């Protein structure tokens, strides 16, 4: 009798687990559909066929479909099952609207590192790159704003990675901590910036000092354009790629624990994230090549050496106390790990007050001018369109002293924003963030206020400044001694050439000169070939320099130290190796 009872209990337990497992499996409509290729093809979405095993092999995580994508796996109806689902966002050029409906084709993977991932469309029965797409964003972004969606991140990534999500939520990256501090063009604390102000939440402040009427829609479009660059969890850790027949970890669900350098540059989704401020704005980026403007600039020497971003910039990878998603901007201390002798001998050399970058960055590309004026953003008329495509080269950076007296390289270029009423600034050199701030809150970027100028036939008045971001990448062979010391009085002169290729006018070429001496820094001799405007655009909006000419100047001593004994320069020119032996430069 006892054995019979044991058998009955065992049978009941088996039945319980069998029924429970069957119920769970039956409730998982995600797998019921997506693991059945025949069924998915019949629905017209065969490319969305995937098994739980494939996902786990590619992501290295045991998460189920709904744990990452939300939705309702208990519903068998397709619409009900997908309700509330977080989807990939395909952002249209028109209005920067984010479409999240199922696509006729999956994403395509190419070889161009800038645009490795692309959305495709059907054209005459053939797959072609979808020309209507402005950007691709992952499903942890808000489709309305294109910014981080913390509610989705908390329910998905944060459900399993609670500590990491908590630390990320408080990081500079997640809070847009630097750029969001620019409250308007005339914000006293931070000044005007090449990227523009943080439009969200600052409409009234910006409109108050704008001489023409702004529309809330244009303000929203401008902010969405900013938000595309600001990161969520997936921007750093998601690494989709073409499925491999030999490597089962490669596919549409591939992840990486430690972000690659490519992920810092948008990971194949156009020139976004750090690609913009480095290769585009500063013009001295890590990757260069196809990321650079103009295309083809020499990459940082560390790229070839396979030294990645997180090898130099401290993060939770190298220091757990830093906090997830916090990456230290200042990386000077990391140089000694590979260049101990150079760092030591440099500290005792004649050039000890120069940063490494001051000598080792040349041929600076990217923006050579930028102007904010009326134009169109994503098909919407806006008071503030960034006419930025003055792409060209400055042979060597201009060197200036930072807040601690160290010489650093910058690329001074003219900037203006039109239709300003007043300005609170006094002409002079300013630093974005004070020197006494800790590293995580500080940058070494400078800017120079020029003035508020009239004299334009329209879009009057123009607030002028000179952008002077510090450059840290594109390290390579040192510039020559002559590039700094040819002129005995320490004057610096750089001839800049560029070509304009933004909306508003047919492409045109031009040039200017950056002149820095004991009296000040001057951007002068601005000239170009004839400018042919497109209908609806004003010359004052995209080329105010045509009226303002040599107005971009700031007073102060921008000269290099004068050589006490120019015989030293002559001896080094005859015997370059003597500079290292005699302690003029590092060994």
What pTM value is reported for the model? 0.92
- Cα 479-485-490 angle, rounded to 5 deg: 125
Q: Is residue 333 part of a domain?
A: no
* DSSP state at residue 587: -
- Distance, CA of 552 to CA of 548 (rounded, Å): 8
pLDDT of residue 567: 84
Query: Are 368 and 450 part of one and the same domain?
Result: yes
Distance CA 208, CA 359 (A): 44
Burial class (CB in 10 A: 0-12, 13-18, 19+), 340: exposed
> Does the CA dihedral 353-356-361-364 come out positive or negative?
negative
- The Cα 128–Cα 367 span in angstroms is 31
Give Cα 560 distance to the centre of its chain. 32
Specify whether 58 is located in the same domain as 152.
no
**Residue 311 belongs to a domain:** no
What is the C-alpha separation between 483 and 491, in angstroms, rounded?
11
Domain boundary among 26, 48, 81: 81
pLDDT digits over 388-416, tens only?
Answer: 999 999 999 999 999 999 999 999 999 99
Q: Are residues 77 and 98 in the same domain?
A: no
Element (H, E) at 361: none
The stretches in the chain having pLDDT less than 70 are 1-27
- Phi, psi for residue 241 in degrees, rounded to 5: -155, 170
Residue 312 domain-assigned (yes or no): no
Residues 419 and 473 in one domain: yes
In this structure, are residues 518 and 488 in contact, taking their beta carbons and an 8 Å threshold? no
Contact 319, 326 (CB under 8 A): no
For strands 462-468 and 370-377, give the pairing.
unpaired
Q: Are residues 21 and 150 in the same domain?
A: no
- pLDDT value for 100: 77
Residue 378's Cα: distance from chain center in Å? 19
Strand partners, 508: 500
For residue 402, the SS3 value is coil
The radius of gyration of the chain's CA atoms, rounded to the nearest angstrom, is 28
Distances (CA, A) of 148 to 137, 151, 174, 229: 10, 9, 8, 10
Asked if residue 240 and residue 142 are part of one domain, the reply reads: yes
Note the pLDDT tens digit of each residue in 159-212.
999 999 999 999 999 999 999 999 999 999 999 999 999 999 999 999 999 999
**How many Cβ atoms from other residues are within 10 Å of residue 206's Cβ?**
22
Same domain, 66 and 102: no
- Position 288 in a domain: no
Shared domain for 133 and 9, answered yes or no, is no
The answer to whether residues 408 and 498 belong to one domain is yes
- CA proximity to 29, closest of 66, 63, 76, 64: 76
Q: What is the chain's percent helix, strand, coil content, to nearest 5?
A: 30, 20, 50
From 29, 64, 81, the end of a domain falls on 81
- Asked whether the beta carbons of 465 and 191 are under 8 A apart, the reply is yes
Among candidate residues 383, 8, 28, the one with its CA nearest the CA of residue 211: 383
512 and 369 within one domain: yes
Residues counted in the chain:
587
CB-hemisphere CA count at 13 Å for 210? Answer: 20
Provide the residue range defining the domain that includes 493: 356-562
Helix (H, G, I), strand (E, B) or coil at 451: strand
Number of domains forming the structure of the chain: 3
Rounded to 10 degrees, what is the CA torsion of 353, 355, 359, 363? -140
The answer to whether the beta carbons of residues 59 and 44 sit under 8 Å apart is no
CB 94, CB 101: distance < 8 Å: no
* Residue that finishes a domain, picked among 212, 246, 272: 272
Does residue 522 share a domain with residue 402?
A: yes
Task: With respect to residue 555, please indicate whether it lies within any of the assigned structural domains.
Answer: yes
> Distance of alpha carbon 355 from its chain centroid, rounded?
24
Q: Which residues are CB-contacts of 443 (< 8 A; sequence separation ≥ 6)?
A: 178, 329, 432, 433, 470
**Could you give the C-alpha distances from 120 to 105, 139, 214, 459, 472, in angstroms and in order?**
6, 18, 35, 40, 37
- Asked whether 170 and 122 are in contact (CB, 8 A), the reply is no
The span from the CA of 214 to the CA of 579, in Å, is: 58
Q: Looking at residue 5, what is its pLDDT? A: 52
407 and 537 assigned to the same domain = yes
Cis-peptide into 461, omega within 30 deg: yes
Q: Is 77 inside any structural domain?
A: yes
207 part of a folded domain: no
- Please spell the DSSP secondary structure of 113-129, one letter per residue: SSS-EE-EEEETTEEEE
- For residue 218, being part of any structural domain is answered with no
156 closest CA partner among 63, 78, 251: 63
Q: What is the residue whose two structure tokens read 């750093």?
A: 236
Structure confidence at residue 571 (pLDDT) = 84
């Amino acid at each position: 009798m006892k054995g019979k009872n044991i058998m009955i209990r065992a049978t009941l337990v088996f039945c319980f687990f069998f029924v429970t497992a069957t119920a769970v499996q039956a409730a998982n409509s995600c797998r019921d559909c997506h693991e059945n290729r025949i069924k998915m093809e019949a629905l017209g979405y065969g490319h969305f066929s995937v098994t739980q095993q494939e996902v786990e092999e590619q992501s290295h995580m045991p998460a189920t479909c709904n744990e990452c994508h939300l939705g309702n796996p208990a519903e068998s109806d397709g619409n009900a099952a997908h309700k509330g689902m977080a989807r990939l966002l395909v952002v249209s050029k028109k209005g920067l609207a984010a479409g999240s409906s199922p696509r006729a084709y999956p994403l395509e993977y190419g070889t161009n590192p800038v645009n490795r991932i692309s959305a495709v469309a059907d054209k005459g029965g053939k797959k072609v790159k979808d020309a209507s797409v402005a950007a691709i964003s992952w499903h942890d972004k808000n489709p309305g704003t294109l910014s981080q969606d913390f509610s989705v991140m908390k329910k998905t990534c944060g459900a399993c990675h609670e500590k990491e999500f908590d630390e990320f939520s408080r990081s500079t990256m997640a809070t847009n901590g630097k750029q969001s501090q620019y409250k308007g063009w005339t914000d006293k604390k931070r000044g005007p910036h090449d990227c523009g102000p943080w439009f969200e939440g600052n409409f009234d402040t910006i409109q108050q000092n704008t001489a023409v009427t702004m529309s809330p829609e244009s303000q929203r479009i401008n902010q969405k354009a900013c938000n595309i660059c600001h990161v969520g969890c997936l921007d750093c850790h998601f690494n989709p790629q073409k499925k491999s027949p030999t490597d089962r970890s490669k596919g549409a669900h591939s992840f990486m624990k430690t972000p690659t350098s490519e992920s810092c540059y948008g990971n194949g989704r156009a020139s976004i994230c750090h690609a913009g401020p480095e290769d585009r704005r500063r013009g001295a980026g890590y990757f260069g090549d196809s990321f650079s403007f103009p295309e083809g600039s020499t990459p940082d020497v560390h790229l070839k050496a396979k030294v990645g971003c997180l090898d130099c910039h401290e993060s939770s990878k190298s220091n757990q106390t830093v906090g997830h998603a916090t990456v230290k901007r200042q990386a000077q201390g990391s140089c000694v790990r590979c260049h101990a002798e150079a760092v030591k001998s440099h500290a005792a050399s004649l050039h000890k007050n120069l940063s490494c970058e001051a000598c080792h960055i040349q041929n600076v590309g990217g923006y050579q001018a930028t102007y904010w004026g009326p134009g169109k953003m994503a098909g919407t008329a806006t008071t503030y369109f960034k006419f930025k495509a003055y792409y060209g080269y400055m042979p060597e950076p201009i060197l200036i002293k930072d807040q601690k007296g160290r010489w650093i390289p910058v690329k001074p270029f003219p900037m203006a924003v039109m239709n300003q009423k007043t300005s609170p600034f006094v002409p002079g050199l300013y630093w974005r963030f004070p020197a006494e701030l800790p590293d995580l809150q500080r940058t070494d970027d400078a800017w120079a206020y020029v003035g508020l100028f009239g004299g334009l036939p329209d879009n009057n008045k123009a607030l002028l400044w000179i952008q002077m971001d510090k450059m840290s990448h594109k390290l390579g062979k040192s510039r020559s001694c002559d590039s700094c010391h040819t002129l005995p009085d320490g004057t610096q002169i750089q001839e800049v050439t560029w070509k304009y290729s933004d909306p508003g006018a047919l492409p045109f070429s031009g040039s200017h000169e950056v002149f820095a001496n004991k009296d000040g820094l001057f951007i002068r001799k601005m000239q170009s070939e004839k400018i042919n405007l497109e209908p609806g655009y004003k010359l004052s909006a995209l080329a105010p320099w045509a009226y303002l000419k040599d107005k971009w100047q700031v007073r102060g001593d921008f000269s290099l130290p004068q050589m006490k004994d120019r015989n030293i320069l002559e001896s080094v020119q005859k015997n370059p190796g003597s500079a290292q032996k005699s302690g003029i430069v590092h060994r």
